[in-house]
Structure 1
Amino acid sequence: MPDDVGATQSFYGRWARFYDWLATAPGVGSWRERAADALGLDSGDTVVEMGCGTGANFSYLRDRVGPDGRVVGVDLTRGMLRRASERIDRAGWRNVHLARADARRPPVDGPVDAVLATFVVGMFADPRPAVERWIDMLVPGGRIALLNAGRSDRRVAAPLNLGFRAFVRAAAPGDGRESPSESLERRVATARDAVYSNCPAHGFEEFGLGYLGLAWGVRGD
C-alpha cells in the first residue's frame, strides 16, 4: 500500500472522478450508514472524518449532527477536496468544513465528539500512532469508527477473492516484500488493535459477504 505522500496525492488526484463514482455506487450508501451509526452522533456534535476523499460520507454525518453540529473533512489530495467542496456547495451546507492535511497529523483542535475513517488506515505504513492520535482528540465518551475492506473467509465469497486481490493490486501496488492484500490486512488489523487497546468499550462487525469490517471504540472517562 502507498505510504509516500507524493505518490498518494498523485494517484488519488488522477482518479478522483472515478473514486467519487465508486464511492457513491448503488449499495455503498448502506455501508456508510452503518459507519455513521457506529459513531452514536447527536444533534450539535462535532465529527471529524480522516481521509474524507470526495465527501461521500458527509451527508450521513451532517444528517446526524444537524445544522447546529459541525463536520470537518481532512484529506491530502487537491483533486479529492475539489470534488468534496463541490458537493458541499451543491448541498448548501454551512457547517461542513475542509482541511487539506495529512490525516496522520490532522490540524484540528480537540476535543471532538467523534472521528471517522473509511478505507484510510490501510495506506499508512504503521497506522497505530495515527489512530491513537485520533482517539486522543475525542471527548470522554467520544467514539471512533474505522471502516475497511479485506478478503473474505466465507466459502461463498471464495471466487470473488481473486477479484478483490486484483483490485487492491491495481489501486495500491505492493513493495515486493508482501502482497498488497496482505499488507492491507496487516495494517487494518494494527489499526483495529489500536482502537481495542485505547478504548475500554469497543466492537467489530462484518458485512458485505465478509469483505467489510467496521471497528468502533468509545474513549474512556
Structure 2
Amino acid sequence: MSDLDRVRQFYGRWAHLYDRLATAPGVRSWRRRAAAALDLAPGDTVVEMGCGTGANVPFLREQVGPDGRIVGIDVTRPLLDRASARAAAEGWTNAHFCAGDATQPPISGPVDAVLGTFVLGLFRDPTAVVDGWLDLCRDGGRVAVLNFQRSDHPLAAPVDLAFAAFLWAGSPGWGWPEEPVTAAFERRVGAGRTALAARTDERCYETFAGGYLGLLSGRV
C-alpha cells in the first residue's frame, strides 16, 4: 500500500474523532497562531495543504476578509466532506475545498500564502514538497508550517515517551520497521523546515504548548 493510500485510509477511518480533536479549544489557539504567522491582508488568497476538516478556516477568514479566498487541499474525502459541510453551515462562501495531493497540489500560482499544519511528517520527501509550496507563492508571499516535536524542557522526558506513543498510534503505517516512527517523523519535519528556511527571509520560529509545538514561517 502506498503512503497516500495509508493516509487516506487512516484519516478516513478516524474522520469523526480527528474533527473533534482538531477543533478542541486548546488546539484552536494553536491554529490561530499558525494563521497569524502568515501575515495575511484583506483580499489575499491562501492555500492550506492538508486542510482536513477546515479547522483553520475561521482564523484564515479573519485575516483575508470577505474578498479574500481560501483554498483547502486534502487527499481524504471524509475529511473534505466535513470541511464542505462546515463551510456551508457557517456561510463561508470564500472557502473552497478540493481533493488533491499536497505533494502535487492541483492549483496554479501565484498565491499570497501557503499553510501546512501537522503534515510535514507525512511526506517521504518533505524538501521537494516545501519547495513546491514556495514556488506557488508570489514574491513577498509567506509560508508557515506548524508541527509537533519533542520538547527540550528538563522535565519533559516522561512526556516525551507519551509523545513517541502518540506518533506510533497516529502514524498512517509509515516508518517502522525500516526506521523508528519518532526518528522518521523528526527527520521529515526537520527537512521540511530546512527547505523553508533556505528560501525565505523574515523568518520567525516559535515554540509553545510546553515546547511540543514548533511554528516556522518565512517570506518568499
User: What TM-score range do you get, normalising by the shorter chain?
Assistant: over 0.9
| SS, match of residue 18 in structure 1 | helix
Report the equivalent of 2:154. Answer: 155
Report the equivalent of 1:179. Answer: 180
Q: How many aligned residue pairs are there?
A: 218
Deviation, 1:24, is 1.1
Report the equivalent of 1:127. Answer: 126
Could you state the TM-score of these two structures normalised by the residue count of structure 2?
0.96
| SS, match of residue 144 in structure 2 | strand
Using the TM superposition, name which of 149-158 and 89-98 deviates more.
149-158
Report the equivalent of 2:5. Answer: 6
| SS, match of residue 47 in structure 2 | strand
Q: Distance in 2 between matches of 1:108 and 1:141?
A: 19
Superposition pairs for residues 1-221 of structure 1, below 5 Å? Answer: 4-172=3-171, 173=173, 174-219=175-220
Which amino acid letter does the alignment assign opposite residue 201 of structure 2?
Answer: P
Q: Distance in 1 between matches of 2:65 and 2:155?
A: 40
Runs of 4+ in 1 over 6 A off after TM superposition: none
Deviations 1:28-50 (A, max 9, x none): 11111110110000100000000
Deviation, 1:17, is 0.6
Could you state the TM-score of these two structures normalised by the residue count of structure 1?
0.96
Structure 2 residues without counterparts, runs of 5 or longer: none
Deviation, 1:3, is 6.2
Identity among equivalent pairs (%): 53
RMSD, matched Cα: 1.2
Structure 1 residues without counterparts, runs of 5 or longer: none
Say if 1:3 and 1:57 are closer, same or farther in 2 by CA, change over 3 A: farther
| SS, match of residue 198 in structure 2 | helix
Which amino acid letter does the alignment assign opposite residue 215 of structure 1?
Answer: L
| SS, match of residue 177 in structure 1 | coil
